[in-house]
Amino acid sequence: MFAGSFAGNGWLSPVILYVVSTNNKLMHYSGFSLLKQALTGNRGWTRAWRNLEPRKRYDVVIIGGGGHGLATAYYLAKLHGITDVAVVEKGYIGGGNTGRNTTIVRSNYMLNPNAQFYEHSMKLWEGLSQDLNYNVMFSQRGVLNLIHNDAQRDAFARRGNALRLNGIDAVMHDLDGVRKLMPHLDFSKNTRFPVQGGLAQPRGGTARHDAVAWGYARAADRLGVEIFQKCEVTGIKRKGDQVISVETTRGPIEAGQVGVAVAGNSSRLFDMVGMKLPIESHVLQAFVTEGIKPLVNTVCTFGAGHFYISQSDKGGLVFGGDIDGWNTYAQRGNLPTFNHVVAGGVTMMPCLARLRVLRQWGGVMDMSMDGTPIIGKTPIDNLYLNGGWCYGGFKATPASGWVFAHTIANDKPHALNAEFTLERFREGNIIDEKGVGASPKSH
Ligand SMILES: Cc1cc2nc3c(=O)[nH]c(=O)nc-3n(C[C@H](O)[C@H](O)[C@H](O)COP(=O)(O)OP(=O)(O)OC[C@H]3O[C@@H](n4cnc5c(N)ncnc54)[C@H](O)[C@@H]3O)c2cc1C
């Protein structure tokens, strides 16, 4: 009766929703729930997702509990009504590249298939916290690519024009414009690579990486998806052109369809079905300095080397650069690459030399040969691949899950991933995005 008589009162409805949600063990996060927990000793928080034992069979098994696997499970349940889904993760949710990246989100790609796909992702990012009821801390502080010579200005102007023709925001800055955005760069004229301007995407920015994994996990779980951590796939059983089950460290699981989203481990997984992928695995490192007052207000990339930087909400400068130059599955990097990255950073912004680096880590990148992802069907009927993300898969997380779910649900790709096929390498239809995406051949 209480709920009924006050349901029309807009300001009270979050309270009512909260009460109903708590009773159903599906806690809705809101300002009211935060306040209530703060006033009651934080004892009422419920699990973000369930802790279950795997069943014998699922309609869909997604291998890999990173952002892409979890987003796929969420959109399968939310948009396609497929809820008999298991996500199996060998470590812990978000312990792979999703929780290891430098969190840059942008959609400033020039070639049409990439431009459309990443812009779709950007639009999903713009409503993601509300959609998931989880604060992914998406911050549209802009992304600025520096220009150091005339040829680069021409190439960036071309890319900026292509972006605008695709309805994507792009702003060309002269030196004064760059000075306003990044006042602490080295603007002297007698350096080897003087800054001449920059191409910006104001809607780009950063998001909190592990919150994305946790948000998708929680939202998928609420729709019935079952998530299993410490559940490594050790084998894939086939009967002819069909996968029938996956062997895991928590027992065999039969599956109607299997989606693989394991980033740097893609080639290992496909080895289990006797397939060789056009993917190389390399380690990419990230670095964080001690916390300082606001210094870097946008994401900024050096145009005369491979270096990118932003500042976290805690104040640490987050930066990265080139991959370590050899193949590995080890999630740790080496000192020579660190020296190389830092040299780029100090050339671009000399004041960085005074900071201490507090933390460093590595993630295993699934580098495709043209720098563009592979999302779609494979020669095995009910086995689907989502990989080849190179440096750029974090920003793709929402759209990647969205199109992969569509592909699995309909057994055919969506228009947005129709060109991200495996066959393109055999046919020569590669999507070679020069300059904005790294690929193994560029190193
Ligand atoms: C240092 C660094 C910086 C980066 N910076 C950016 C950036 O700024 N912007 C950007 O857009 N992208 C960036 N990236 C790339 C981005 O992080 C990845 O492309 C993206 O997170 C890939 O997501 P995923 O879900 O496919 O992979 P992951 O998060 O790695 O998830 C794959 C999961 O599969 C699991 N797995 C592997 N093998 C098995 C198995 N046999 N059984 C079960 N589970 C298995 C792994 O444990 C892992 O959790 C960066 C990457 C790194 C490492």
Ligand 1 neighbourhood includes 114 CB (under 6 angstroms): no
Q: Give just the sign of the alpha carbon dihedral 364, 367, 371, 377.
A: negative
Q: How much is the average pLDDT of 162-169? A: 97
pLDDT above 50 for 5: no
| CA 72 to ligand 1 center in whole angstroms | 14
The share of the chain scoring above pLDDT 90, in percent, equals 87
Report which ligand 1 atom has the smallest distance to the Cα of 365.
53
pLDDT at position 437:
53
Domains and CATH numbers, the chain: 2-39 (no CATH), 57-126+209-277+373-442 (3.50.50.60), 143-206+280-368 (3.30.9.10)
More confident residue, 191 or 19: 191
pLDDT at position 391:
87
| CA 205 to ligand 1 center in whole angstroms | 19
More confident residue, 205 or 391: 205
Closest CA to 136 of 74, 77, 224: 74
Ligand 1 pocket check: which of 70, 87, 394 to mutate, most ligand atoms within 8 Å of Cβ?
394
269's enclosing H/E stretch is helix 266-271
Ligand 1 neighbourhood includes 101 CB (under 6 angstroms): yes
Q: How much is the average pLDDT of 41-57? A: 95
What is residue 188's three-state secondary structure?
coil
pLDDT at position 442:
63
Q: What is the rounded average pLDDT for all residues in the chain?
A: 92
Q: Give just the sign of the alpha carbon dihedral 100, 102, 108, 111.
A: negative
Q: Are strands 104-105 and 299-301 parallel, antiparallel or unpaired?
A: unpaired
Q: What angle do CA 152, 101, 125 make, to 5 degrees?
A: 80
For the stretch 53-83, pLDDT in tens is 999 999 999 999 999 999 999 999 999 999 9
pLDDT at position 23:
40
The share of the chain scoring above pLDDT 70, in percent, equals 92
Ligand 1 neighbourhood includes 248 CB (under 6 angstroms): no
pLDDT at position 325:
81
pLDDT band at 6 (very low <50, low <70, confident <90, very high): very low
pLDDT above 60 for 346: yes
For the stretch 122-156, pLDDT in tens is 999 999 999 999 999 999 999 999 999 999 999 99
pLDDT at position 16:
37
| CA 66 to ligand 1 center in whole angstroms | 6
pLDDT at position 101:
96
CA distance 79 to 63: 20
pLDDT above 70 for 112: yes
Of 12-16, 190-194, 383-387, the poorest mean pLDDT is in 12-16
398's enclosing H/E stretch is helix 393-410
For residue 269, the cross-strand partners are none
Task: Identify the DSSP state of 78.
Answer: H
pLDDT above 90 for 414: yes
